[in-house]
Chains A and B, each alone.
Chain A
């Protein structure tokens, strides 16, 4: 598919700040990986019968905040990537990287409802009456899946950035 006319440098949304935003995106990526992994670990420990509710509550705030901020920042960077990296480089020279990046974006988008669902389930754990007995295991399943998606997103994102970061010709 023809990319059409490429707009002049500096004319895309957030393009002038893209390098700084990419650095923040990377830092938030590590934060998201760490927070979602902690959430998953405490979910598994609770499913195994340990009383780690305070820790789960803490990471039920930190993990979604980090992941949602990260996704929003990624969305802000997306127009610059779409025109300067994908259309100008990957679509022409490495189409597999285009699809790999798209997979990363989709995994990031799918991790959000999984994580928010896990957070909602986690809120019911300490309520009276107690939730159905399957709740801790379902919570752990959702949280571990979300963390696996976020890890994969971070690894693919790091690889893509190593191949061609935004802000570089």
Chain B
């Protein structure tokens, strides 16, 4: 893996993780749900009662980040990536995530 591919892959992975995490949690898309009372995991949603989707969201975002990092190995990098554009995009996506989850704290009764 070349240096340019490593740099690009690292920042793409952060972008993919943040985007997938926001889409899964924010849009309440179907995902892996764990029911702690029944000791059972299943695909579906939204969670009911004490069921939780945190594991599924982290797993999904991690899988997206790993897939993008693997993809970056195979796509040629002819010139060094523009790191500030990639970093700005990654941090903007992270900021969307944080803003969304912080807004729920502010909206809580």
Contact = CB atoms under 8 A, between A and B. Distances in A.
Interface of A: 1-7, 11-13, 75, 78-80, 82-83, 86-87, 95-96, 98-100, 102-103, 105-107, 109-110, 113-114, 116-117, 120-121, 123-124, 127, 129, 131-132, 134-135, 138, 141-142, 145
Interface residues of B, number: 43
13 contacts: A5-B37, A12-B36, A75-B55, A82-B36, A95-B109, A102-B101, A102-B104, A103-B104, A106-B101, A107-B98, A113-B65, A124-B3, A131-B7
B7 A132 contact: yes
B9 interface: yes
Interface string B37-54: 101000000001110101
A82 B61 contact: no
Contacts of A110: 17-18, 21, 94, 97-98
Contacts of B87: 138, 141-142
A87 B50 contact: yes
Nearest to B36: A79
A145 B49 contact: no
B6 A124 contact: yes
Interface of B: 3, 6-7, 9-11, 13-14, 17-18, 21, 25, 34, 36-37, 39, 48-50, 52, 54-55, 57-58, 61, 65, 80-81, 83-84, 87, 90-91, 94, 97-98, 101-102, 104-105, 107-109
Nearest to B97: A110
A98 B37 contact: no
A84 to B, nearest CB: 10
A24 to B, nearest CB: 20
A78 B52 contact: yes
Contacts of A5: 37
Nearest to A127: B3
Contacts of B3: 124, 127, 129, 131
A132 B50 contact: no
B108 A98 contact: yes
B109 A123 contact: no
Highest count of chain A CB atoms <10 Å: which of B7, B84, B97:
B7
Contacts of B80: 131-132
Contacts of A100: 105
